[in-house]
Chains A and B, each alone.
Chain A
């Protein structure tokens, strides 16, 4: 199954985006929805990079991303797993989500990525196993040229 590992550097994000896009383009997923999947994956990885221990040597650590697409007629379900080795465990369920007008008013930009992620992703699960943080989620995306693809549920509110 398609997977990639990146180091804890924001300069790796382009490589990550190219990987997600390169995995979904051959399946003829609608480009707007490919972009949303890219955004969701990048937001979680960006969060892992931002909250990594910057005093710690990460030269031998990686963020692992695995994508499992499942074609289901006019749509595909894309299951995604992201693993990082940060000591701090992040769980979206514990995060108090501000609304966008509050973010604009108070300049608390930190919440934007998580709002985006929550709007795009479904079946979100965060857990810690074997000293790793594991984020699983899925999205349902339309396949181009297949009737009924406009019925996709992504993104949701």
Chain B
């Protein structure tokens, strides 16, 4: 899996491509660690090209959620495919994480938070 990083004025964007499993979870964890150090108050995770997720990948989201809350960083996930979203829903994580359909929706949340 690849994790691409993009920094914008008002958010830090991580773009995931491929399968997020026991092998690749560390890549996302490292990328989020760097994002938290950037001190940007909005961390967006683009899952449009995330093909698969299993528990080690989900574990990165759940463990980093607390870190984001402590640092007052808003974590927003968008672009989940139906099959990946279903895995989050089974666990009830769709209620704990902020998940929106598109990047535009994520940007609207940021804009609303700033006004």
Contacts and interface: CB of A to CB of B under 8 A. Distances in A.
A11 B58 CA distance: 18
Interface residues of B, number: 24
Instruction: Classify chain A: how many residues form its interface, as a range.
Output: 20 to 34
A39 to B, nearest CB: 6
Contacts of A38: 52
Interface string B39-56: 000000000000010111
Q: Would you call the interface of chain A mostly helix, strand, loop, or mixed?
A: helix
B28 to A, nearest CB: 13
A136 B63 CA distance: 31
User: Interface of chain B, helix or strand or loop or mixed?
Assistant: helix
Contacts, number: 79
Interface string B55-95: 11011001101100000000000000011101100111100
B83 A46 contact: no
B62 to A, nearest CB: 5
> For A43, A49, A107, A155, which residue has the most chain B Cβ atoms within 10 angstroms?
A107
11 contacts: A13-B23, A32-B83, A39-B54, A39-B87, A100-B62, A100-B92, A100-B96, A109-B58, A112-B55, A113-B54, A113-B56
